């Protein structure tokens, strides 16, 4: 299982102490789809054809491979797991240091200017991954979006603003927060306005603090979004076996194996 010490982004971000703290402000969602040379890591279902899909985005400085061991540990035989790779990007917060990132981070304050275009491009890219699964015969209500830290922020924003034929099965946000909060509830798509969200957060997280996690939960609940929020004692900005176990159980509820093909 992954633990705090095994999350690769913690090595890369020694000087980037607070990974994705800032709240993202309003902007126009007219940007093209993000492009990346690295195809997503895919963990195939054990059966010939999967009946559900989990798309999970890594955090700043990490990769899809960084989460592969965790999902191989908790995988279900009927689920396909898609672990995208962020492209290299110069991160302003880190003095322009280039690292895998879903969007730029300008500064560590709630009123800091944000990379609206970068968030839009990544949201469009994630949307294209969802559409690919739908085209492959997996309905939206058998698809979960998720992510860790910056990836969790993207999953929340994309899932809540995405117009899908049916509601998504759910959203997983680990050590994350809701980006572009001031755009909500106007940006909330009706089809996913009641999508189930699983939030996990360590009470010792000094990067995306528990306060920000709880503020996200409160804001989601104010909009009527159902949230299951779990706090992990002693956990910093990472994951542990308890959280992975809780996520596995939550995914099993949202994506039961009963719908075999």
Token couple for 112: 């800091």
Residues annotated catalytic, as ranges:
149, 205, 237
CA distance 149 to 57: 9
- HSE-CB at 60 with a 13 A cutoff on CA atoms is 30
Distances (CA, A) of 171 to 8, 11, 118, 246: 23, 27, 21, 14
Q: Compute the radius of gyration of the chain from its Cα atoms.
A: 17
CA distance 136 to 138: 6
Token couple for 178: 């809701």
5: left (phi over 0), alpha (psi -120 to 50) or beta: alpha
């Amino acid at each position: 299982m992954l633990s705090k010490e095994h999350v690769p982004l913690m090595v890369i971000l020694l000087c980037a102490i607070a990974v994705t703290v800032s709240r993202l402000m309003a902007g126009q969602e007219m940007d093209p789809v993000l492009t990346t040379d690295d195809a997503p890591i895919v963990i195939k279902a054990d059966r010939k054809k999967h009946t559900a899909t989990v798309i999970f985005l890594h955090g700043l400085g990490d990769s899809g491979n960084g989460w592969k061991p965790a999902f191989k540990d908790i995988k279900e035989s009927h689920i396909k797991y898609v672990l995208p790779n962020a492209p290299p990007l110069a991160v302003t917060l880190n003095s322009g240091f280039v690292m895998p990132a879903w969007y730029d981070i300008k500064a560590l304050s709630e009123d800091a200017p944000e990379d609206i275009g970068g968030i839009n491009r990544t949201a469009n890219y994630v949307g294209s991954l969802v559409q690919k699964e739908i085209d492959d015969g997996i309905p939206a209500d058998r698809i979960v979006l998720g992510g860790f830290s910056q990836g969790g922020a993207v999953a929340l924003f994309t899932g809540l603003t995405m117009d899908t034929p049916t509601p998504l099965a759910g959203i997983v946000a680990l050590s994350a927060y809701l980006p572009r909060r001031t755009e909500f509830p106007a940006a909330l798509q009706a089809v996913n306005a009641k999508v189930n969200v699983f939030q996990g957060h360590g009470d010792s997280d000094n990067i995306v603090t528990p306060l920000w996690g709880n503020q996200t939960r409160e804001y989601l609940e104010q909009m009527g979004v159902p949230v299951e929020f779990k706090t992990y004692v002693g956990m910093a900005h990472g994951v542990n076996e308890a959280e992975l176990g809780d996520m596995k159980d939550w995914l099993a509820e949202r994506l039961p194996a009963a719908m075999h093909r």
